[in-house]
Structure 1
């Protein structure tokens, strides 16, 4: 029995030695794995596959969220940049237009200075009151502005100063003239440019339907005709001589012995930006 037990132990040891030798030989061959290694490798790969797919999906979700956040931030920056660009472009266009207007205004004042001794004070329009046809300008009593000073744009006469505060003034536009006014200061003595001593009339009101100034008290023998340029005659104390008002479009007989003419104003009253207050020399 003892001999049989020793044989079994010997056989087991020999088998273990052979197995170890076989393992050593197989490990020495590159790329070759034993079936236990294969089993372990396959089991690990399968387990890793089960874990990797959900992890990869979650990681992809987070990556997409980060990408969306990045895109949102980039879009926000782009919108802000476009907004600034639009604002700056608008401001640039406005400054360019203002520069053109001021250059035209400078040319206008130089031309006027060569014609007479009037002083032209440039002012910006602050507000426009549609109800009473007046505008507010940013020059006032502190700037030497007084009531009844004539006001014009580059194109022509637009009205007169009617109220003055320290730093602002209200200007009554020609579109607010009407024949129901009790003050004769609103009427404008006018004549034909180039024939100042031959033509004369009074501009008393504005017809909003025709958008024309109505000139009355024209002598039937007066040679005024459509196409003539009407200017201020300077007969009153408000409007100085020689300011262009508009062009005659029609002439016809009035209710009495005088004739009436319709005048299309040169000035635009709806888009006033800069105007000139005409300061006449004392005396």
Structure 2
């Protein structure tokens, strides 16, 4: 039995030696040749096919990760683009707001220059910083006070028309009572004397009707019968308001006071619901003789 195992082991060794001799012979036989035998071709083709099969999935995986990297770069570029667009939009909004504000201030400046050529009044531009919600006390607060030369009883207007009168002054702010709260029949305020632009010699008193919520011009003489659309301005007589400030236009009129005078409903020129910038009128002081 042991002899058989030894023989088998010897046979394995013998076969291994024969295979080695054949391999060496083949190597020696193929050395220096440019053409391959069909077994060599078969081995090469088989190896190439296996290599191709293995290379394609590996290449696909590599391409996949490469594409993922490119997608990440594209996402970052898109994110930067979105941020740039958002910043541009915000800058455009700021630019439009600044442009509109500059245009508004230029118009206001143009107004003051025109008015300076018409009279000797000085106009201090102020911003509205507050208003009352009390319907019985219609006032606004502006950002100029005694430190800016503001005094009580100075008239206030916008570029459109008359707004009111300074009633209280602090160091850095002032309270302005609106003309809709200047009631000539009580101690709440000071009446506004007015005239028609087309009839400089006419006269009337501006008051506010709480019941109808309407600005009225009363005590108009019969000879100065108002017409719809007439422009009403301050007369500068008997009141603290400088002359020539637009108050509004006549909307309707009717006979009053026993048929001897007229009363006109006035459409205010100033937009009281949208007060942002106003002018405080500084009238030159006249030296007494």
After TM superposition, the score normalised by the length of structure 1 is: 0.77
1:23 to 27, 30, 55: 30
> Structure 1 91/34 Cα, relative in aligned 2: closer, same or farther at 3 Å?
closer
Rounded Cα–Cα distance in structure 2 between residues aligned with 1:256 and 1:73? 83
| Aligned counterpart in structure 2 of residue 82 of structure 1, from 49, 73, 85 | 85
Q: Which of 112, 115, 121 is residue 112 of structure 1 equivalent to?
A: 115
CA distance in 1, matches of 2:197, 2:240: 19
Deviations 1:1-56 (A, max 9, x none): xxxxxxx99xx699667533443365x23898433333444344434445555x34
Look up the match of 1:125. 128
Alignment partner, residue 233 of structure 1 = 235
**Residue 69 to residue 38, structure 1, CA distance change in 2 (3 Å):** closer
Equivalent in 95, 99, 102 of residue 99 of structure 1? 102
* Matched residue SS, 1:196: strand
- 1:145: how far off? 0.9
SS of the residue corresponding to residue 108 of structure 1 reads helix
Q: Decide which of 60, 64, 69 is 1:60's aligned counterpart.
A: 64
Check 1:93–1:219 CA distance in 2 against 1; reply closer, same or farther (3 A cut).
same
- List gaps (5 residues or longer) in structure 1: 1-7
Deviation per CA, 1:78-115: give whole Å up to 9, x if none.
Answer: 33323332332233223333333333223322332233
1:137 — aligned with what?
Answer: 142
Per the alignment, residue 222 of structure 1 pairs with: 224
Is 1:164 matched up with 2:166?
Answer: no
Q: Within the alignment, does 1:250 sit opposite 2:252 as a pair?
A: yes
Equivalent residues of 1:156, 1:246 under 8 A apart: yes
Task: Decide which of 201, 205, 216 is 1:202's aligned counterpart.
Answer: 205
In structure 1, how many angstroms separate the alpha carbons of the residues matched to 2:114 and 2:53? Answer: 95
Deviations 1:134-167 (A, max 9, x none): 3332211110112221111112112222332222
Matching residue of 1:35: 42
Could you say what secondary structure the match of 2:273 adopts? coil
Q: 2: distance between equivalents of 1:98 and 1:162?
A: 29
Shift of 1:236: 3.8
| 2: CA distance, partners of 1:167 / 1:235 | 31
Whether the 8 Å CA contact 1:152–1:276 is kept in 2: the answer is: yes
**CA 1:239–1:72 in structure 2 vs 1: closer, same or farther (change >3 Å)?**
farther
Aligned to 1:5: none
TM-score by length of 2: 0.75
Pair 1:249–1:47, CA change in 2 (3 A): closer
Gap regions ≥5 residues in structure 2:
1-13
Secondary structure of 1:37's counterpart equals helix
For 2:282, which of 264, 267, 279 is the aligned residue? 279
Instruction: Kindly tell me the number of residue pairs found equivalent between the two proteins.
Output: 266
